[in-house]
Amino acid sequence: MRAEITVSGIVQGVGFRPFVYRSAVENALTGYVRNRADASVEIVVEGSESNVKQFLHDLRQKKPPLARIYSMETKFLEERKEFDKFSVLRSSVRAELSGSVIPPDVSICENCLRELRDPKDARHDYFFITCTDCGPRYTIIEGLPYDRANTTMKEFKMCSFCQKEYSEPANRRFHAQTVACPKCGPKAYLASNRGEAVSSGDPIREAGKLLEEGYVLAVKGYGGFHVATATTKDKPIVRLRAVKHRSQKPFAIMARDLETVKSFATVSEKEAELLTSYVRPIVLLKKNSDYFLSDLIAPDLHNIGVMLPYTGLHYMLYDNVREPAFVMTSANPPNEPIVTNNDEAVQKLGGVVDYFLFHNRLVAQRCDDSVVRVHGEDTSFIRRSRGYAPEPIRLKHAVDKCVFALGGELNAASCVLVGDKAFVSQHIGDVENLETLRFLKSASEHLLRLTNSKPDAIACDLHPKFTTTQLARDWADELGCPVVQVQHHHAHGAALIAEHGLEEIVAVVCDGYGYGLGGEAWGGEILYCNRQGEFKRVGHLEPQPMVGGDLATRYPVRMAASILSKATRIDEWLMANRTHLPHGKQEAEVIIQQLNKGLSPLTSSCGRVLDAVSAILDVCYERTYEGEPAMKLEAAALNGKDVKLQPIVKDNVVNTTTMVHNILNRRKTEASRDLAFSAQQYLAQSLAQTAVEEAQRLDIGVIGFSGGVAYNEHITQAIGHVVEENGLQFVVHRFVPAGDGGVSFGQAVASAWQTAR
């Protein structure tokens, strides 16, 4: 019997061909296997019928751990006796299917780590040791099929030792495209901050020592540079904050091992599993009572972002030092994407760091670390990037076209939706400047190429002035396809429907800002959404003035003044808080005048209400990074209790004026912690109760929660509690971030549903 098989999924770069080879030989079959340029694998086997059947069974049942089979097409034919053995053939340039893709980067495996540590091994101390089961993939691949010549490893010609392992079917490096050793592979070296090489016999361990001593280094990894320094001293972090112009934003850290993490943070079983998984994301953990690292790493927050080493190079940094962890933050100049190129690093980071730890392999795709958080047993994404991208999200309901979505303006990522798979790009960032826009373009083109897709429609935000909206129009013109604009909060709600395979939902969507249907600023919304791509705003937070527009986003005192002015005279309060405004008394006077005129733009944003409360409670007076006042408010509310602020909801509009005014009035008698807790509780309960009533009226069984505010554990749990107490199902995001990193996915599904009608 002869079988011709096409396997699509994640089958290149995961040891699939070597596995096919071994299975074929085991089953005494002849024929061949080869990669195709559409990321699928083509197999032809000949042999007895029972052996062929067993082989097909093995393909599905025994496949390598990182491989994903989405579909397998098999044609059975008469045996032709065409082959005398089974072989791995040179890749074919055929590209017919779309929907296959290459794998994400994979952290160093146990076997490679053991060899790295073995003085007798040829790859002892080799910082980029890898095999078919581990190593970079997405970040080194320039094109398909996945062969060394199509990766940034092409510069490094294999030595005879590596070549031998590469060609031995029984070897675990058989056809491992990243195979390399100290002789033939990429080299690491130290350099001064002007890029001049510093001679060192052991540059990586030397770098570890410099870090421990408090120097600041830029360390090149798989997807770009990290800026690194010690975690137990304040001084280097103060310096790093000054040069990076990041006064408050938390830095992620990389700890030497799991035991060490447990010495400063609480780690649940689920969190430990994530920390040590082959993805090695940054996991947001709670600092424990013994926390002993510098308080400047995550100032005024109860959480800290921690990851474990994921390359041989990272492991070696800790070899000769006692430092428990190093700061490891993406090296990006303000509002620009992460730096990947050595020359660019010297130019852009030379003024920030003391030394560089370079290696000489190029980065094909820049990729930041992923960030996740565990709520109970569920993982929620904050940033879905290295280790996850570009693995697709599988949909329960396939769509009949290919949609390409560009996301919004902040925390953008793009998305290619084809059939039942959504490929979301790595984290791109805030698309406000040219550099990031260029990154969005190139990452998107790469994703379209890798998935062999041609869009039938381009989706983007409703905001007429977003750079992504303009880009969508240009792109659509070029391709001759329509643009579909999707309202921001609708995209959040649609994402929930698609992730959970639902028909309809009442979604509570709370964030900072989204362009509303009439151009208003939305951000505390209750929407009805369905799988026809329709939505309706059925409730929201009370619209509040933002005195000075965007300035009110930056200075929470302005937001507090805006809301309070609707309930009371604020002159006295504002004057008492004038030191928290950059221009003091003068600015306070202007604010009062402007509020009296009543011409400020309005917003129903939940984030802005949390900002106002955080200013009134003395928690945060300036927003230096996205979500800062709300995140600090969450930390301030820990161990608080409910002082019971009576919910006021009229015509499905949740009152916030009285709530904020009550908080101010009760400051004298209640603990700040309790009021912070109660403000969160108020918003959660009144939004949830309104959503429940709407769901019951519309006869819908599911309520979801989305938007950046969903990262707040207290608010999420409190909404869930109300929903479940009323006998309804509560859903949150499982596969995409609740924040704006999930918006492109929502745009893609909503527009595919709309255009299918």
Cα–Cα distance for residue pair 119/122, rounded to 1 Å: 8
Task: Rule CB under 5 A: say whether 740 interacts with Zn ion.
Answer: yes
Determine the interface stretch with Zn ion among 132-140, 291-299, 354-362, 410-418 (rule: CB under 5 A): 132-140
Cα–Cα distance for residue pair 522/542, rounded to 1 Å: 10
**Which one, 486 or 722, has the nearer CB to Zn ion?**
486
**Least distance (Å) between residue 36 CB and Zn ion:** 25
**Least distance (Å) between residue 133 CB and Zn ion:** 5
Task: Rule CB under 5 A: say whether 105 interacts with Zn ion.
Answer: no
The β-bridge relationship of strands 402-405 and 457-461 is parallel
What six digits make up the tokens of 336?
A: 């620009």
Residue 149: exposure state from Cβ atoms within 10 A (0-12, 13-18, ≥19): exposed
Residue that is written with structure tokens 């013994």 in the block: 290
Per-residue 3-state assignment (H helix, E strand, C coil) for 588-611 = HHHHHHHHHHCCCCEECCHHHHHH
Task: Rule CB under 5 A: say whether 410 interacts with Zn ion.
Answer: no
Determine the interface stretch with Zn ion among 80-88, 144-152, 281-289, 737-745 (rule: CB under 5 A): 737-745
**Which one, 109 or 393, has the nearer CB to Zn ion?**
109
**Which one, 302 or 384, has the nearer CB to Zn ion?**
384
State which amino acid sits at residue 363.
Answer: V
**Which one, 488 or 580, has the nearer CB to Zn ion?**
488
**Which one, 112 or 293, has the nearer CB to Zn ion?**
112
Determine the interface stretch with Zn ion among 124-132, 440-448, 468-476, 593-601 (rule: CB under 5 A): 124-132
Determine the interface stretch with Zn ion among 13-21, 608-616, 727-735, 738-746 (rule: CB under 5 A): 738-746
Do 25 and 169 form a contact (C-beta atoms < 8 A)? yes
Residues numbered 45 to 64 that lie near Zn ion (CB under 5 A) are: none
Determine the interface stretch with Zn ion among 313-321, 422-430, 705-713, 744-752 (rule: CB under 5 A): 705-713
Task: Rule CB under 5 A: say whether 538 interacts with Zn ion.
Answer: no
**Least distance (Å) between residue 263 CB and Zn ion:** 28
**Least distance (Å) between residue 620 CB and Zn ion:** 20
Determine the interface stretch with Zn ion among 17-25, 127-135, 216-224, 648-656 (rule: CB under 5 A): 127-135
**Least distance (Å) between residue 153 CB and Zn ion:** 11
**Least distance (Å) between residue 517 CB and Zn ion:** 15
Calculate the alpha carbon distances from 160 to 155, 361, 474, 588 in Å. Answer: 16, 20, 50, 74
**Least distance (Å) between residue 114 CB and Zn ion:** 9
**Least distance (Å) between residue 18 CB and Zn ion:** 13
Determine the interface stretch with Zn ion among 41-49, 230-238, 291-299, 701-709 (rule: CB under 5 A): 701-709
For residue 261, the surrounding DSSP H or E stretch is helix 258-264
Do 141 and 150 form a contact (C-beta atoms < 8 A)? yes
Cα–Cα distance for residue pair 177/142, rounded to 1 Å: 13
Among 7, 29, 134, 610, binds Zn ion (CB under 5 A): 134
**Which one, 181 or 457, has the nearer CB to Zn ion?**
181
Do 37 and 91 form a contact (C-beta atoms < 8 A)? yes
Cα–Cα distance for residue pair 630/611, rounded to 1 Å: 6
Task: Rule CB under 5 A: say whether 461 interacts with Zn ion.
Answer: no
**Least distance (Å) between residue 132 CB and Zn ion:** 7
Residue that is written with structure tokens 């030989």 in the block: 25
**Which one, 212 or 740, has the nearer CB to Zn ion?**
740
Task: Rule CB under 5 A: say whether 115 interacts with Zn ion.
Answer: no
Task: Rule CB under 5 A: say whether 409 interacts with Zn ion.
Answer: no
**Least distance (Å) between residue 511 CB and Zn ion:** 4
DSSP 350: T
Determine the interface stretch with Zn ion among 248-256, 419-427, 495-503, 703-711 (rule: CB under 5 A): 703-711
Terminal CA-CA length for the chain: 46
Which segments of 359-456 does DSSP mark as H helices, in order? Answer: 434-450
Classify each residue of 23-42 as buried b or exposed e, where b means 16 or more C-beta atoms within 10 Å of its C-beta. Answer: bbeebebbbbbbbbbbbbbb
Task: Rule CB under 5 A: say whether 109 interacts with Zn ion.
Answer: yes
Per-residue 3-state assignment (H helix, E strand, C coil) for 677-700 = HHHHHHHHHHHHHHHHHHHHHHCC
Task: Rule CB under 5 A: say whether 496 interacts with Zn ion.
Answer: no
**Which one, 95 or 159, has the nearer CB to Zn ion?**
159
Task: Rule CB under 5 A: say whether 542 interacts with Zn ion.
Answer: no
Do 439 and 430 form a contact (C-beta atoms < 8 A)? no
**Which one, 158 or 675, has the nearer CB to Zn ion?**
158
**Least distance (Å) between residue 109 CB and Zn ion:** 3
**Which one, 408 or 647, has the nearer CB to Zn ion?**
408
**Which one, 414 or 451, has the nearer CB to Zn ion?**
414
Determine the interface stretch with Zn ion among 37-45, 103-111, 282-290, 473-481 (rule: CB under 5 A): 103-111
**Least distance (Å) between residue 428 CB and Zn ion:** 15
Residue 439: exposure state from Cβ atoms within 10 A (0-12, 13-18, ≥19): buried
State which amino acid sits at residue 483.
Answer: V
**Which one, 102 or 306, has the nearer CB to Zn ion?**
102
**Which one, 311 or 681, has the nearer CB to Zn ion?**
311
Task: Rule CB under 5 A: say whether 440 interacts with Zn ion.
Answer: no
Cα–Cα distance for residue pair 658/628, rounded to 1 Å: 24
DSSP 740: G
Task: Rule CB under 5 A: say whether 588 interacts with Zn ion.
Answer: no
What six digits make up the tokens of 702?
A: 């599911």
Do 186 and 156 form a contact (C-beta atoms < 8 A)? yes
**Least distance (Å) between residue 563 CB and Zn ion:** 21
Q: How many CB atoms lie within 10 A of CB 287?
A: 19
**Which one, 302 or 540, has the nearer CB to Zn ion?**
540
Residues numbered 504 to 533 that lie near Zn ion (CB under 5 A) are: 511
DSSP 618: T
Respond yes or no on whether the N-terminal peptide bond of residue 145 is cis (omega within 30° of 0).
yes
Task: Rule CB under 5 A: say whether 606 interacts with Zn ion.
Answer: no
Residues numbered 154 to 193 that lie near Zn ion (CB under 5 A) are: 159, 162, 181, 183-184
Task: Rule CB under 5 A: say whether 153 interacts with Zn ion.
Answer: no
Cβ-Cβ contacts under 8 Å for 454 (sequence gap 6 or more): 98, 402, 448, 479
What six digits make up the tokens of 55?
A: 């082989």
Among 3, 14, 131, 664, binds Zn ion (CB under 5 A): 131
Task: Rule CB under 5 A: say whether 615 interacts with Zn ion.
Answer: no
Classify each residue of 700-728 as buried b or exposed e, where b means 16 or more C-beta atoms within 10 Å of its C-beta. Answer: bebbbbbbbbbbbbbbbebbbebbeebeb
**Least distance (Å) between residue 523 CB and Zn ion:** 8
Residues numbered 182 to 241 that lie near Zn ion (CB under 5 A) are: 183-184
Cα–Cα distance for residue pair 29/19, rounded to 1 Å: 14
Task: Rule CB under 5 A: say whether 113 interacts with Zn ion.
Answer: no
**Which one, 2 or 488, has the nearer CB to Zn ion?**
488
Largest Cα separation within the chain, whole Å, is: 94
**Which one, 131 or 422, has the nearer CB to Zn ion?**
131
Cα–Cα distance for residue pair 448/442, rounded to 1 Å: 10
Task: Rule CB under 5 A: say whether 402 interacts with Zn ion.
Answer: no
Task: Rule CB under 5 A: say whether 462 interacts with Zn ion.
Answer: no
What six digits make up the tokens of 312?
A: 């041989």
Which segments of 110-257 does DSSP mark as H helices, in order? Answer: 110-117, 160-167, 203-212, 235-244
Cα–Cα distance for residue pair 712/31, rounded to 1 Å: 56
**Which one, 100 or 178, has the nearer CB to Zn ion?**
178
Determine the interface stretch with Zn ion among 128-136, 338-346, 625-633, 730-738 (rule: CB under 5 A): 128-136
Dihedrals φ, ψ of 330, to 5°? -55, 135
Q: Where on the chain is the footprint of Zn ion (CB under 5 A)?
A: 109, 112, 131, 133-134, 159, 162, 181, 183-184, 511, 707, 740
